[in-house]
């Protein structure tokens, strides 16, 4: 799977978004959604499992309380939802508190990030990209001047 690109959408009245067509081709019927770091990450079930496992580079130890708590939290915050026949995802299933923690109200940016997609509040996304662009431009000028 290799997801790239940015797609702007509006949530409908039922808090659903249509997954961009290039992304839908990479997903089956289910998407694992986790609100984290001010955005919602979307994985295939297999991709989510690999992502959770990546937090344990030396392997998961069920007798280690830190490992147990971290894995529990990552899985507890994740909601597996089905894509409907129109390719929509019901973000409302995450709950109002999860959407509020990501500032998601109406307009969103759906962004491909290699092995998963991210759903951002559109204004937050635009601001973050502008800050990153400025940082890159500043680094370029330092390196090549």
Instruction: Supply φ then ψ for residue 50, to 5 degrees.
Output: -65, -40
pTM of the shown model: 0.88
What is the per-residue pLDDT across 15-47, written as a single tens digit (0 to 9) for each? Answer: 999 999 999 988 889 999 999 999 999 999 999
The predicted structure's pLDDT at residue 55: 95
How far apart CA 52 and CA 49 sit, in angstroms, is: 5
Give 49 or 145, the one with higher predicted confidence. Answer: 49
- CA gap 113, 120 in Å, rounded: 12
């Amino acid at each position: 799977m290799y997801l790239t690109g940015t797609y702007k959408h509006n949530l409908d009245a039922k808090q659903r978004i249509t997954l961009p067509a290039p992304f839908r081709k990479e997903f089956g019927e289910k998407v694992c959604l986790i609100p984290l770091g001010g955005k919602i990450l979307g994985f295939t079930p297999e991709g989510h499992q690999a992502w959770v496992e990546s937090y344990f580079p030396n392997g998961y130890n069920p007798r280690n309380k830190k490992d147990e708590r971290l894995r529990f939290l990552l899985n507890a915050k994740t909601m597996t939802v089905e894509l409907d026949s129109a390719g929509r995802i019901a973000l409302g299933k995450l709950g109002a508190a999860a959407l509020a923690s990501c500032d998601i109200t109406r307009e969103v940016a759906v962004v491909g990030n290699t092995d998963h997609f991210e759903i951002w509040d559109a204004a937050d996304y635009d601001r973050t990209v502008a800050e990153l662009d400025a940082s890159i431009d500043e680094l370029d000028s330092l390196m090549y001047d």
